[in-house]
Amino acid sequence: MTEITEVPSPFCGIGTDDLAIRVDGLSLQVAANGCAVNTPGFEQPITDTSPRVGGQAVDLDTAVAKAAALLRDTKQPVIAGCATDVNGMRGLLALADKSGAVVDNVNFPAARRNLLALQDSGWMNTTLAELKNRCDVLLIVGTDLEAFAPRFFERYLWNEQSMFLDNTASRDVIYLGKAPSGDASTSPAGKTATVLTCADADLPDVVAVLAALIKKQPVLAQNVAGIAVTDLQAVADKLKTAQYGVILWGAAALAYDHAELTVQTICNIVKDINLQGTRCSGFPLGGREGDQTANQVCGWTTGYPARVNFARGYPEYDPFLYDSQAMLANGEADALIWVHAFNVNAKPPRTTLPTIVIGRSGMTFEKEPDVFIPVGTPGIDHAGHAYRLDNVVAIRLKKLRDSGLPSTAEVLHAIEQAL
């Protein structure tokens, strides 16, 4: 048995890299700094070690040959999931380029809310270390931050020391929309968050009023969606008098129509505060299970973040048309490759089309795919790179054990070569 320290997690998106993992053969145990997201991710046991074709165990070469055969005569395959590391995405995009596939990552419906806002008007954002050292006012919009990343507050808000704050425990935390699910947002000194709740569907109105107050536009209403306008005015004043305010949102939590407009309003609030002479930054949550990695690698390889179609021999981007679920449902695709190296519960969408699954060992299926190739998990079974939620920092994932499972990149590369 060995213990490996300073292990970065590929699961939580916030780039925790202080885990200690006990390795005993193929079994892993999180010995320090685990959480509800990371611990199960690391401790998931290996069950499958060999690929299957039509439910029968075969060797890797046979599975790869079958996958290539299934793809060979397709006109519009889709590669979905896209939950892997940087090298896995490199292999995935090479295969997509050669086979004329659509590439669509599993978390794109949430990421799209951010991307549409970015591509329409841009933003001013920050990263975790700035937040850790500078942020004195944190406004959390529509999101239960603690449930998303259990260790966020401990690591980035209630850090004992910061470079530019005398006392981190006096930071102001404000929840707008959702209430926190636990008490992680309460500072070590007992200071609790300000919580202004409303229904998700009312967030656009609430955020719009806050934007108006920031811009000093007249607001006639006394309250909006149950929140007193005077309370929102207090939020606006706090942001405007902050040393370094941060407005955080989780696009996945904004699950209502045209949430991208809410994201855009938030981004415009940040810009307006900066124009009025105070520093403020936005902070989008994301980055779980490789979604940021998928968008980054797709970005430099194709110029577009995701939902890219290679059918015409060059990448075309459409954040709506190339929705793999819709394409499968509408009969626009003729084969599915599902790539998910992180989560055994992330299963391929139901389809009667030829289906190839390149997935984490331990996946079970309601309907056995035509080809299933179990792969190692980046950061456990092989080294790799993954992007953190703030998009700037790529973390170096470590290899923790010798499982003999191939990497996603190796499998996809082999299929590409066999095509």
Partner 1 sequence: MLIKLTGGTVYDPASGIAGQQQDLFIQDGRIVDAPTDGRPVDQEYDLRGKVVMSGAIDMHTHIGGGKGNIARTLLPEDHRLDPVHRTPVTRSGNGHAMPSTYVAGYRYAEMGYTACFEPAVLPINARQAHMEMGDTPIVDKGGYVMLGSDDFLLRMLTAKKDQKAINDYVAWTLNAAKGIGIKVVNAGGINAFKFNQRKLDLDEKNSHYDVTPRQILQTLARAVKELGITHPLHVHGCNLGVPGNLETTLNTIQGIEGLPMHLTHIQFHSYGTEGDFKFSSGAAQIAEAINQNKNISADVGQILFGQTVTASGDNMRQHANHRFASPNKWVCMDIECDAGCGVVPFKYKDQNFVNALQWAIGLEIFLLVEDPWRIFLTTDHPNGAPFTSYPHLIRLLMDRSFRNDMLATIHPEAQKMTTLASIEREYSLSEIAIMTRAGAARIIGLKDRGALSPGNFADITVYTENADRQAMFTKPDYVFKDGELVVRDGQVVKVTWGTTHIVKPEYDLSIENELKPYFDKYLTMKLGNFKISDDEISEDGRGSLTAHPLRGAA
Interface residue list for partner 1 (CB under 8 A)? 6, 8, 15, 17-18, 86-87, 90, 94, 97-98, 115, 118-130, 132-134, 155-156, 159-164, 243-244, 274, 277-279, 281, 295-296, 299-305, 310, 313-317, 383, 385, 391-396
CB 58 → partner 1: shortest distance, Å? 27
Q: Which one, 77 or 348, has the nearer CB to partner 1?
A: 77
CB 185 within 8 A of CB 145: yes
Name the minimum Å distance from CB 5 to partner 1. 9
Q: Which is nearer to partner 1, 105 or 281 (CB)?
A: 281
CB of 90 to partner 1, least distance (A): 7
Q: Identify which of 253, 222, 208 has the alpha carbon closest to the alpha carbon of residue 114.
A: 253
Judged by CB, which is closer to partner 1: 98, or 238?
Answer: 98
Nearest-approach distance from CB 87 to partner 1, in angstroms: 7
Segments of 61-105 assigned E as strands: 77-83, 102-105
CB of 313 to partner 1, least distance (A): 5
Q: Which is nearer to partner 1, 118 or 357 (CB)?
A: 118
DSSP 351-371: -SS-EEEEEETT---SS--SE
Find out whether 220 and 201 touch, Cβ atoms under 8 Å. Answer: no
Q: Which is nearer to partner 1, 1 or 163 (CB)?
A: 163
Tell me the residue type at 203. L
Residue among 65 and 94 whose Cβ is closer to partner 1: 94
Q: Which residues contact 398 (CB under 8 A, 6 or more apart)?
A: 4, 7, 8, 379, 383
- Within the chain, what is the greatest distance between any pair of CA atoms? 70
Q: Given the complex with partner 1, which of 198 and 400 has the nearer CB atom?
A: 400
Q: Which residues pair with 308 in a beta bridge?
A: 103, 317
Q: How far is the CB of 22 from partner 1 (least distance, A)?
A: 18
The C-alpha atoms of residue 398 and residue 378 are separated, in whole angstroms, by 8
Beta strands in 256-367 (DSSP E): 280-285, 308-309, 316-317, 335-340, 355-360
Cα dihedral 140, 145, 148, 151, rounded to 10, equals 130
Please say which residue, 370 or 390, places its beta carbon nearer to partner 1: 390
Question: Smallest distance, Å, CB 240 to partner 1?
Answer: 12
Nearest to 339 by CA among 127, 78, 61, 1: 78
Going from the C-alpha of 189 to that of each of 167, 193, 392, the distances in angstroms are: 10, 12, 32
Nearest approach, Cβ of residue 247 and partner 1 (Å): 14
**With contact defined as beta carbons under 8 Å apart, do 128 and 120 qualify?**
no
CB of 380 to partner 1, least distance (A): 16
Q: What gap in Å lies between CA 6 and CA 20, rounded to an integer? A: 6
